[in-house]
Structure 1
Amino acid sequence: MTSTVTQAAGLLSKYKEKKVLVVGAHPDDIELGAGGTVARLAAQGSDVKMVVVCTPNNLAKRNAEARKAAEILGAGIEFLFPEKEMRVEDVKTYQLIDRIDRLVRELDPAVVITHAASNFHLDHVMVHKACVGAQRLHFFDMLCFYPTSCHPVSTPFHPQAYIDISGTIERKMAAINQHVTQFGCRGLTTDHYVAVAREYGRLAGVEYAEGLEVSRLNLG
């Protein structure tokens, strides 16, 4: 397991000063599933953009929380459908695919990170499929997926890579703490996510880690 972490660390450094696109269905999804990885990529000099597809409620407050969280992680942020409160399910499939395709063409990212397919949330699965489908237009060097369920042990998520976030766990938790509107919702507590990171760290042989499923990896 430790060698997996070492290789992942080497892969991250490969994308220093490269563009990284991280997509989440809602505000807080990215921070919960990959906040430590985002912070680590940003700290090494990668150009990281977080993209939030939809905000289903409390539009102004939740988007403001997401902006603060992105700033803490060192990433830029964009809202794909910023004009009104809506769920991903409210977006026509072709519209979602078109927006993601345009985003990929504009950014030309080397790395794309988004939701895993194995997820209880239909909106997360829709975003996953749209990002995977964007490969027909653009070949990413790396495409990988993060878990976003509050209880990842209950979904069939099988990471092939572990990212050591021992140095960025505090920033991950600080970013999560910006989402005040979500406290008490779906078991969102810092204690829970610290425990998840500690468990991934145990599997990887480090203090704290995040797990990623790897779909595409160009070793160059």
Structure 2
Amino acid sequence: MFGLDPALGRDEPLRLLLLGAHADDVEIGAGGTVLRLLDERPQTEVTYVVFSGRADRAAETRAAAAALLAGAARADVHVLAYRDGYFPFEAADIKGFAQATLEGVRPHLVLTHRRDDAHQDHRVIADLAWQTFRGAAIAQYEIPKWDGDLDRPNAYVALDDDVMMRKLSILEQHFPSQQAKGWYDAETFQGLARIRGVEAGVRYAEAFHCAKLVW
């Protein structure tokens, strides 16, 4: 998956790094992929980082992470409190955290935002991933939003019905603060997965942008 080191056996621990600018980003963009990966590789060791999660959103994030990562062999969860919308002005502190805390993770696979995402916070985290984890396979997930910046992905992960429903359940149960937003509902997330599934020749899929793939 995503050009992982061919020397890494399926029964060996996979080091997975999940980076999200905001609470729910990881679950929206790659929740199904994470669930499938943990089903298939239960020895996976996960580092999960959300950079903007204050007060009630931090509690939501931790609860969602516990549900999402229940199948992991180990899960380190970091929920930070950088200001939503201000990441370009706090980039030095964000990079300092990554150098101090994350460089030692040495991930095999990083799931993060797209470098050309319309949201400025997302771009900062994507750039951080490419600056910090050059030896890892990096797959960039997509987040639907009003900007209409969904692009043409070049990698897909098929999701069966069970994984799709588990993803939707996590998004519905663990992020009540988002329920009032008009775009935030199961129809949005399932609809996008269905469209990506059509493109991938399956029922449901999550899509990624991979600048480099090693086969």
Counterpart for residue 107 of structure 2: 109
Counterpart for residue 62 of structure 2: 67
* Displacement after TM superposition at 1:101 (Å): 2.8
Structure 2 CA distance for partners of 1:186 and 1:96, relative to 1, 3 Å = farther
> Cα deviations across residues 199-219 of structure 1 (Å, max 9, x unaligned)?
111111111100011123343
Contact 1:27 / 1:63 at 8 angstroms: preserved in 2? yes
Distance 1:201 1:10 in 2: 23
The amino acid of 1:163's aligned partner reads V
Structure 2 CA distance for partners of 1:53 and 1:69, relative to 1, 3 Å = same
* Alignment TM-score, normalising by the size of structure 2: 0.83
The amino acid of 2:32's aligned partner reads G
The amino acid of 1:147's aligned partner reads E
Taking only aligned residues, the RMSD between alpha carbons, in angstroms, comes to 2.7
Structure 1 residue runs of 5 or longer lacking an equivalent are 1-6
Q: Percent identity?
A: 25
Aligned partner (choices 2, 26, 29) of residue 30 of structure 1: 26
Counterpart for residue 165 of structure 2: 170
The amino acid of 2:51's aligned partner reads V
- Higher mean alpha-carbon deviation, 142-151 vs 108-117, is at 142-151
* Displacement after TM superposition at 1:89 (Å): 1.5
> Cα deviations across residues 81-110 of structure 1 (Å, max 9, x unaligned)?
24xx62261552221112223333221111
**Residue 30 of structure 1 aligns to a residue in which SS?**
helix
Confirm whether residue 196 of structure 1 aligns to residue 170 of structure 2: no
Aligned partner (choices 137, 140, 164) of residue 145 of structure 1: 140
Contact 2:113 / 2:142 at 8 angstroms: preserved in 1? yes
Counterpart for residue 4 of structure 1: none
Structure 2 CA distance for partners of 1:168 and 1:9, relative to 1, 3 Å = farther
> Cα deviations across residues 137-171 of structure 1 (Å, max 9, x unaligned)?
x511x11100113358x215221111011241112
Counterpart for residue 87 of structure 1: 84
**Residue 211 of structure 2 aligns to a residue in which SS?**
strand
**Residue 79 of structure 1 aligns to a residue in which SS?**
strand
* Alignment TM-score, normalising by the size of structure 1: 0.81
